[in-house]
Amino acid sequence: MTTLTLAKALNEGLRRSMEDDSKVLVMGEDVGKLGGVFRVTDGLQKDFGEDRVIDTPLAESGIIGTAIGLALRGYRPVCEIQFDGFVFPAADQLITQLAKMPLRSLGKVRLPVVVRIPFGGGIGAVEHHSESPEAYFTHTAGLRVVACSNPADAYTMIQDAVRCDDPIIFFEPKRRYWDKAEVDLMAAGVPLDRARVVRQGSDVTLLAYGPMVKTCIEAAGAAEQEGRSLEVIDLRSLSPLDMDVVAGSVERTGRCVVVHEAPVFTGFGAELAARISERCFYHLESPVLRVGGFSTPYPPSRLEDHYLPDLDRVLDAVDRAFTY
């Protein structure tokens, strides 16, 4: 076991992927000498060379478009989009090309491209640096969408993503980059498309992914002192979605609160609530409640503590789940 930050765990995972397969490339803005603005690619260019760790021009559509071309030639590019709010210039290449080209070819083309996106707020950033755009991508057939929440998962999930033959949007919780945890560098980890129960409980199921998993674990700790037992599930994969683990939990607890930073309105939680009501209707003691961002643009940083779900807002929703 080794103690690593989440950023370093991703770095070690990428290093391992590049050692295992010479076709794996890393590309993005400032990923070379600088090692990425969050240092996730630190040292990779020095060890693997400029042909495999590519500092690209400052153009996100170009990053994804050329990654597609490289994948057509047999490479496995791992692209870094520097911040969540900068993915939109690449939206066309992601949605009309990367997601659909394998189907367009009737399966003859494979595009094993990973697009890493640091997402979410809580770091006191300026505009466009704190967003949660996951629902745009879960709504696009052909893309897989995953989010890691802790160093151990980050280490195995990035390697699994690189090995996968489908294009993957890989969300990284940027405010958790510096969180440390024990990582077993020999572990295989949970399969990429599986959810994981990270804390067992019997009264309410909390569903989260990325940065909100830690918030939910803390909320469960606080609730325990008040005599409530909360189960926390880290979804890990948003598309596909591991409904068996979700439904198994909700059928036991009868209550569910979904937590994400993205706006609640037509957010990913809406899909979860709908699916749970379809599948677990007779087990539910209360409606599925959602805690998330407001239907406002992401606020200036001095307001972000009001916008982001925190322990108290999660527990408030838990309380409300008992009023039905």
166 is a site residue for other proteins (CB under 8 A): yes
Nearer to other proteins, 278 or 285 (CB): 278
Distance CA 16, CA 27 (A): 16
Q: Closer to other proteins by CB, 64 or 181: give it.
A: 64
The distance of closest approach from Cβ of residue 192 to other proteins in the complex, given in angstroms and rounded to an integer, is 9
Residue 165 contacts other proteins per CB under 8 A: yes
Which regions of 103-192 does DSSP assign to beta strands (E)?
114-119, 144-147, 168-173, 180-183
Smallest gap from residue 295 Cβ to other proteins (A): 26
Interaction between residue 248 and other proteins (CB under 8 A): no
Q: Which of 96, 104, 62 minimizes the C-alpha distance to 79?
A: 62
Cβ distance 215 to 177 under 8 Å? no
Contacts 24+ apart (CB under 8 A), 56-61: 56/27, 56/28, 56/29, 56/31, 58/29, 59/89, 60/86, 60/87, 60/88, 60/89, 60/90, 61/89, 61/90, 61/92, 61/93
| Rounded CA separation 55/32 (Å) | 5
In Å, what is the CA distance from 306 to each residue of 116, 173, 176, 317? 27, 19, 19, 15
Task: Judge whether 283 counts as a catalytic residue.
Answer: no
Question: Which one, 1 or 103, has the nearer CB to other proteins?
Answer: 103
**Which one among 17, 45, 93, 150 touches other proteins, defined by CB under 8 A?**
93
Handedness of CA 47, 187, 272, 164 (dihedral sign): positive
**Closest CB to other proteins among 80 and 242?**
242
Q: Report the residue number, 5 or 237, with the smaller CB distance to other proteins.
A: 237
In the region spanning residues 276 to 315, those forming contacts with other proteins, defined by CB under 8 A, are: none
- Alpha carbon 291 to its chain's center: 17
How many residues bind to other proteins according to rule CB under 8 A?
46
Which residue among 129, 139, 260, 306 is the active-site one? 129
x/- map, 29-58, other proteins, by CB under 8 A: ----------------------x----xx-
Taking CB under 8 A as the rule, does residue 67 contact other proteins?
A: yes
Contact residues for other proteins (CB under 8 A)?
Answer: 51, 56-57, 59, 61-62, 64-75, 89, 92-93, 96-97, 100-110, 141-142, 144, 164-166, 193, 239-243
Active-site amino acid positions: 129
